Amino acid sequence: MSLRTLLRIAWEALVRNRVRSALTILGVIIGVAAVVVTVSIGAGARASVQASITGLGSNLIIVIPGNVTLSGVRTGTGAASTLTPDDGLAIAKLPHVAAVSPGVGIRTQVIAGENNWSTTILGAAPTYTYIRQWSLSAGSFFTDTDVAQSAKVCVLGQTVVDNVFPGASPIGKTVLIRNVPFTVIGVLSVRGQSASGQDQDDTIILPYTSAMQRLTGTIFVSAIAVSADDADTIAPVETEITRLLEQRHRIVGDEQDDFNVRSLQDIANAAAATTAVMEYLLAGVAAVSLLVGGIGIMNIMLVSVTERTREIGLRIAVGARGSAILEQFLIEAVVLASVGGAIGIALGVAGAAAVATFGHWPMLVPLDAVLLAFAFSALTGVFFGYYPASKAAHLNPIEALRFE
């Protein structure tokens, strides 16, 4: 018998028992929908976590000065003055380093016309926008030439713009920072709060040379931001930086480093591990529900075989081979499970979209997971349909025809 004929016989039998068929596939629908939703929640959560980690910086490594001990009083990490812009230039030459930006930070009052505002001034290199993955909403960022000339140019965060230049475009205007006039050449895009709750838009960025020479008067920098060229090279680059700086700072043997190298890798790893555990958990729950759905199919198929004993007897009497009966019931089970799978996928995608909307993360429905769920539901049909189908195929036609 052709597959088309078999499918038609199965379909007609299922349509004949619409309500029961619908109830049977409910389990599979829920199971597959659960798989799709959970997998997409997992993928969405992972993407969301990854995005926020990437937002901190592209494969970011931060080098900060170490602590110092003055008259027995140990300062905290970062208080020492040990890092120079030349350290940064040397780090930039290491392999797998994509970008380096020395950083100088001060907090001070800025003035523009009749407005003034206290904000964080950050001296940085032009690579800073790449390292922090931060774009401009207006104007342009300063260049290497500006750095070389210690140019009096700056880029404002949106919070500064709102407070110092309310309702006007700040481009081309002047702000006084510690009485030094800087020309505003750009505005940073809005970034909102950092993970620790700080307003990242409350800042002014200017060339680090300008900050050092015109504002702080120091030859040291307070941090060096480094971007590795790949997530996998973060760890080796960290090691290389440590070795390089120990060499440059003449630190030998057991002597304590006068700097610290830190990356977000640990945070990223922890976050990835957490989401992975969550995904396994969700997938486990989904698999169990699919299993329960499969048992539901077997249950109803067994009832169906009993209820249709006479029909099966008749089919055998009019010449159905055992294999044809087996195929018919197997195909019924597979059609049931597949229809359930298809509906489940549709519901699952809708559910994933709803969850993504509430969770404020990207809607991600991995195609392979969907196909896998569908294939698995069809397999559920085969697996749980086999026993009832083989029971049907082995019925004694004489007894089956007498069955009441």
Partner 1 sequence: MSDAVPVVRLERLRKLYQLADQPTVALAGVDLTIERGEFVAIMGASGSGKSTLLHLIGLLDRPTSGRYWFEGNDVARLDADALADLRSRRLGFVFQSYNLLPRTSAIENVELPMLYAGVPDDERRERARSALAIVGIAELAQHESNQMSGGQQQRVAIARALVNDPGLILADEPTGALDTTSSHEITQLFRRLNAEHGMTILMVTHEPDVGRAAQRIVTMRDGAIVSDAPVAEALPV
Residues that bind partner 1 (CB under 8 A): 1, 5, 9, 12, 16, 310-311, 313-324, 397-398, 401
Q: What is the DSSP letter of 218?
A: -
Task: Identify the CA nearest to 63 among candidates 276, 238, 304, 300.
Answer: 238
Which CB sits closer to partner 1, 253 or 319? 319
What's the min distance (Å) between Cβ of 398 and partner 1? 5
Nearest to 365 by CA among 375, 351, 379, 378: 351
- The DSSP line for 235-284 is HHHHHHHHHHHHHHTT--TTPPPSEEEEESHHHHHHHHHHHHHHHHHHHH
Q: How far is the CB of 388 from partner 1 (least distance, A)?
A: 19
Q: How far apart are CA 237 and CA 286, in angstroms?
A: 41
Of the pair 181, 322, the CB lying nearest partner 1 is at 322
Q: Based on CB atoms, which residue is closest to partner 1, 193 or 323?
A: 323
- Minimum distance of partner 1 from residue 374's CB (angstroms): 29
- The count of residues in the chain is 404
Give alpha helix (H) positions in 165-213. Answer: 208-210
Asked if residue 20 lies in contact with residue 305, where contact means CB atoms within 8 angstroms, the answer is: no
Tell me if 362 sits within 8 A of 48, measured CB to CB. Answer: yes
Measured from the CB atom, the residue of 1 and 303 that comes closer to partner 1 is 1
Comparing CB distances to partner 1, the nearer of 5 and 357 is 5
Q: Are 74 and 67 in contact (CB under 8 A)?
A: yes
| Residue 394 Cβ vs partner 1, minimum distance, rounded to whole Å | 10
Q: Are strands 60-65 and 223-228 parallel, antiparallel or unpaired?
A: antiparallel
Comparing CB distances to partner 1, the nearer of 58 and 390 is 390
Closer Cβ to partner 1, 355 or 401, answer by number:
401
Query: Roughly how many angstroms between the first and final C-alpha of the chain, as a whole number?
Result: 29
State the minimum distance, in angstroms, from the CB of residue 401 to partner 1: 7
- Residue 289 CB, shortest distance to partner 1, in Å, is 32
Closest CA to 178 of 151, 129, 213, 145: 213
- Least distance from C-beta 24 to partner 1, angstroms? 17
Query: Least CB distance from residue 321 to partner 1, whole Å?
Result: 4
**Residue whose CB is less far from partner 1, 268 or 312:** 312
d(CA 215, CA 181): 11
CA 115, 106, 150, 206: dihedral to nearest 10 degrees?
Answer: -60
Beta-carbon count within 10 A of 182 CB: 26
193 phi, psi to nearest 5 deg: -80, 150
Nearer to partner 1, 258 or 327 (CB): 327
Distance CA 172, CA 174 (A): 7
The least distance separating partner 1 from the CB of residue 330, rounded to whole angstroms, comes to: 16
Tell me whether residue 46 or residue 308 sits nearer to partner 1 (CB atom).
Answer: 308
Taking the complex as a whole, the smallest distance from the CB of residue 397 to partner 1 amounts, in Å, to 5
Distance between CA atoms of 120 and 112, rounded to whole angstroms? 15
